[in-house]
């Protein structure tokens, strides 16, 4: 599932291909990819617009159009945006094509049809439902402590709650908790100040490293040039890719469920602590 590092990689690698280009057409192989507006209205608002920029908020891509509107793209679980110079064969699971004025096309590939495109007058609705960005300077240890204070939910579930922190998904939550030696089921409000500081550091370190490695291709994620990311090769536990034994203690890596989400952890290194 594309998480913050994957979506940020898509943004970074799309920018040089699309900014300043004009949208000349939209082919909807699957019309259900467009939400909250008719297909006809979507086309009329998008075609002819110049792309002014692309920003990311959480797992959302927001393409700023010359009209002032935003084309909001959410890749969801299996979506990818692939840049085609014009002669490239369309990929499997193609759902939409955005045609540009230099004969470049952007393929929206999505095997499971969860990805969506929307139009928005501004980004306020997205901002209202997302917590702080974990890689921004304003996301301090104190901010994380405030988010966790008094909460009885498992720390893993809190990290996945986009209203609390934007962009962290299943893979990177598992990696951050393992690196912090925190049990995924530990109540968020029970963490000590030292544990919060350690978790804060590991969240940022792991996310930055994953961006450097162009995201993780564990299933269906591809970079805009069609290649795969390599962040998965650094995983210690996520998706079972870190091996069957812990690299620290040699004990078994186990899988459990936190809020119906598959969770990988080391029960020896990530013990569930009883708090007084």
Residue 26 φ then ψ, to 5°: -135, 120
The answer to whether 91 is a known catalytic residue is no
Residues of the chain with pLDDT under 50: none
Distance from C-alpha of 109 to C-alpha of 99, rounded to nearest angstrom: 14
Radius of gyration of the chain measured on its C-alpha atoms: 20
Pick 4-128's CATH classification: 3.40.50.1100, 3.40.50.720, 3.40.50.150, 3.20.190.10: 3.20.190.10
pLDDT at 229: 97
**Which residue out of 8, 11, 56, 59 is catalytically annotated?**
59
Strands 261-265 and 60-65: unpaired
Domain map of the chain by residue range?
Answer: 4-128, 141-265
pLDDT at 181: 98
The answer to whether 3 is a known catalytic residue is yes
CATH code 1.10.8.50 for 141-265: yes
Token output for 31: 């019309």
Condensed to tens digits (0 to 9), the pLDDT of residues 84-101 reads 987 678 889 999 999 999
**Which residue out of 3, 8, 175, 202 is catalytically annotated?**
3
The answer to whether 244 is a known catalytic residue is no
**Which residue out of 43, 52, 261, 268 is catalytically annotated?**
261
pLDDT at 89: 82
pLDDT at 240: 85
pLDDT at 275: 66
pLDDT at 276: 56
pLDDT at 219: 85
pLDDT at 254: 96
pLDDT at 135: 98
Distance from C-alpha of 59 to C-alpha of 45, rounded to nearest angstrom: 23
This prediction has a pTM of 0.95
Contact by Cβ (8 Å): 13, 225: yes
pLDDT at 86: 75
pLDDT at 114: 96
The answer to whether 254 is a known catalytic residue is no
pLDDT at 243: 75
- For residue 50, the 8-state DSSP code is B
Distance from C-alpha of 36 to C-alpha of 121, rounded to nearest angstrom: 13
Distance from C-alpha of 139 to C-alpha of 255, rounded to nearest angstrom: 30
């Amino acid at each position: 599932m594309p998480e913050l590092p994957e979506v940020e990689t898509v943004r970074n690698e799309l920018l040089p291909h699309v900014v300043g280009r004009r949208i000349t057409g939209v082919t909807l192989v699957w019309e259900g990819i467009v939400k909250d507006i008719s297909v006809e209205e979507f086309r009329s608002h998008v075609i002819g617009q110049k792309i002014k920029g692309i920003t990311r908020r959480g797992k959302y891509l927001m393409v700023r159009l010359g009209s002032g509107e935003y084309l909001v793209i959410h890749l969801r679980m299996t979506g990818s945006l692939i840049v085609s110079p014009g002669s490239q064969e369309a990929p499997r699971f193609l759902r939409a094509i955005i045609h540009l004025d230099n004969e470049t096309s952007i393929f929206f590939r999505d095997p499971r049809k969860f990805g969506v495109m929307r139009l928005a007058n501004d980004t306020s609705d997205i901002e209202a439902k997302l917590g702080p960005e974990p890689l921004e300077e304003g996301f301090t240890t104190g901010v994380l402590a405030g988010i966790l204070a008094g909460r009885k939910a498992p720390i893993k579930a809190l990290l996945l709650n986009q209203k609390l922190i934007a962009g962290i998904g299943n893979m990177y939550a598992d990696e951050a908790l393992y690196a912090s030696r925190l049990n995924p089921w530990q109540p968020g409000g029970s963490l000590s100040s030292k544990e919060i500081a350690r978790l804060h550091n590991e969240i940022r370190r792991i996310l930055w490293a994953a961006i450097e490695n162009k995201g993780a291709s564990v299933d269906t994620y591809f970079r805009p040039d069609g290649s795969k990311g390599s962040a998965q090769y650094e995983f210690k536990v996520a998706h079972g890719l870190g091996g069957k034994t812990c690299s620290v203690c040699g004990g078994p890596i186990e899988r459990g469920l936190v809020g119906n989400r598959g969770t990988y952890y080391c029960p020896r290194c990530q013990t569930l602590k009883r708090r007084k």
